[in-house]
């Protein structure tokens, strides 16, 4: 089966660097607060958010049950382990490859994604661009996987946006 691609973008009412710091550089602290119904915690095997390190997204049990039911899966998707391939803190880009868990071996043979955050047209706004590459297990999984992948990033990013708009976290312009 060939490699499929899907991509998208979402606009946010938060400055790009603030969003980057919260959603990526300090993901282990911010993401469980921003999307508490989905993420229980984030662990790292290796230095946090560095190329070559592994990031483990541990899902809340109710989220795991819902995702498994929605996708007619035979077991719970309780975590996703990602290898961080590239990080560019200056241009706000990251690339990861899923190496274990998630939809791997359930709906896809492999998948990776890239995210790039840019400043928006107005002050304190940003645009998050993402793209996924994946090899579906079968043709029937192609559309399902595209829909799921294009849902997960905007939901997470919008969760971070909502959290940041309600809190003063990450407002300082410290080092990125």
pLDDT of residue 2: 85
Buried-state track 117-147, b at ≥16 Cβ within 10 A, e below 16: beebeeeebbebebbbbbebbeeebbebbbe
Tell me: pLDDT of 71 over 60: yes
**Average pLDDT score over the chain:** 92
User: Strand 126-136 and strand 4-12: pairing?
Assistant: antiparallel
Higher pLDDT among residues 70 and 160, named by residue = 160
Per residue in 109-150, pLDDT tens?
Answer: 999 999 999 999 999 999 999 999 999 988 878 778 888 888
12 pLDDT tier (thresholds 50, 70, 90)? very high
If one counts the domains in the chain, the total is 1
pLDDT of residue 122: 96
pLDDT of residue 172: 65
pLDDT of residue 167: 94
Q: Assess if residue 172 is contained within a domain.
A: no
What is residue 2's DSSP assignment? P
pLDDT of residue 1: 64
Range of the domain at 27: 4-166
Q: Assess if residue 175 is contained within a domain.
A: no
Whole-prediction pTM:
0.91
Q: What is the CATH number of the domain that holds 48?
A: 3.30.530.20
What is residue 1's DSSP assignment? -
Q: Assess if residue 113 is contained within a domain.
A: yes
Q: Assess if residue 173 is contained within a domain.
A: no
Mean pLDDT over residues 40-60, rounded? 96
Q: Assess if residue 174 is contained within a domain.
A: no
């Amino acid at each position: 089966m060939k490699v499929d691609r899907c991509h998208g973008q979402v606009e946010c009412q938060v400055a790009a660097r603030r969003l980057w710091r919260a959603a990526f550089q300090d993901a282990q602290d911010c993401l469980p607060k921003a999307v508490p119904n989905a993420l229980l915690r984030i662990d790292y095997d290796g230095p946090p958010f560095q190329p070559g390190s592994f990031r483990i997204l541990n899902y809340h049990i109710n989220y795991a049950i819902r995702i498994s039911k929605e996708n007619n899966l035979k077991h719970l998707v309780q975590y996703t382990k990602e290898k961080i391939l590239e990080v560019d803190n200056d241009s706000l880009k990251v690339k990861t490859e899923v190496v274990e868990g998630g939809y791997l071996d359930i709906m896809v043979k492999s998948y990776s994604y890239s995210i790039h955050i840019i400043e928006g047209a107005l002050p304190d706004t940003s645009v998050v661009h993402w793209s996924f590459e994946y090899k579906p297990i079968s043709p029937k999984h192609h559309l399902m996987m595209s829909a799921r992948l294009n849902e997960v990033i905007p939901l997470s990013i919008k969760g971070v946006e909502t959290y940041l708009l309600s809190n003063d976290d990450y407002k300082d312009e410290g080092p990125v």
